[in-house]
Amino acid sequence: MKIQLNVKGMHCKSCEVLIQDALEEVGAKATVDSKAGKAVVDYDGKKLSIEKIKQIIKREGYTVE
**How many domains does one find in the chain?**
1
What range does the domain containing 24 cover?
2-64
pLDDT at 11: 94
pLDDT at 29: 98
pLDDT at 43: 98
**pLDDT (tens digit per residue) in 17-34:** 999 999 999 999 999 999
Residues in the chain, pLDDT under 50:
none
Q: Report the CATH number at residue 23.
A: 3.30.70.100
**Nearest in space to 17 (alpha carbons), one of 36, 39, 2, 1:** 39
pLDDT at 3: 98
pLDDT at 23: 98
d(CA 23, CA 26): 5
